[in-house]
Amino acid sequence: MMYIHYALTFLIWGILIYGFLIFPKSLYAEMGKIFSLQKRGETSKSKNRRISEGFFQKYCQGRGLDIGYGGDLLTPTCSGWEMDQGDAQYLAYVQDGYFDFVYASHVLEHMVDLQETLKNWARVLKPGGYLIFAVPERDLFEKKLTLPSMNNPDHKHFFLLDRDEAPDTVGVVPMMEKYLPHFKIEYAKVLSDKIEYPKHPYSGDREYQIEVVARKS
């Protein structure tokens, strides 16, 4: 059964990638909003925990940008950024220092160049603004040491909290210290506790992710 699951996963992503090459980006983005149940779940199922932690009051005040939101914004006042607007690695045409917070849930693992991506996500933040992102934790989510991912063949990196492991795993804290030394990490933590969330076929009841909040100096 496990091998059937893997085969179906690769087939679905193959169809979506092939469709992206044929259809306009705008159509593909709209399809993504309909079919990205797993992605929507990753933001939605964190909501109750974040409310209990005072997350939104602390870090999500003012003007926000939700990168790769998939039709499910972090807060109702966020602006969303999707594929039809351009490459999330560059955020072309977004004004420097425009946003009070920038959020990306399960996006960074799809980016080719982590340094360039973080540079531009930081670029559009105001001084004192918050960069917030979540990535799958390798041992909890991927359950293997090297690419390709069994859960999503478009993943280009695996992540651990505190250390790099060649050839494919990036340590989140070392990455931030290397690429964004002018940011203060408010917290970086692994999340795997059981949570209350209405299940659907593509989402479990645990977050299985690393969550980071860092403040731009």
Q: Which pLDDT score is estimated for 206?
A: 81
Residue 1 domain-assigned (yes or no): no
Q: Which pLDDT score is estimated for 144?
A: 96
Residue 133 domain-assigned (yes or no): yes
Q: Give the bridge partners for 184, in sequence order.
A: 215
Nearest to 209 by CA among 196, 194, 188, 190: 190
Residue 14 domain-assigned (yes or no): no
Residue 10 domain-assigned (yes or no): no
Residue 24 domain-assigned (yes or no): no
**Gap between the Cα atoms of 16 and 13, Å rounded:** 5
- Specify whether the CB–CB gap between 40 and 197 falls below 8 A: no
Residue 96 domain-assigned (yes or no): yes
**Gap between the Cα atoms of 164 and 66, Å rounded:** 27
Domain hosting residue 78, numbered range: 36-216
CATH number, domain with residue 169: 3.40.50.150
Residue 6 domain-assigned (yes or no): no
Q: Which pLDDT score is estimated for 55?
A: 98
Chunked into runs of 10 residues, the chain (217 residues) has average pLDDT values of: 56 54 42 40 88 97 96 93 94 97 97 98 98 97 96 97 98 98 98 58 70 98
CA 54 to chain centre: 20
> How many structural domains does the chain have?
1
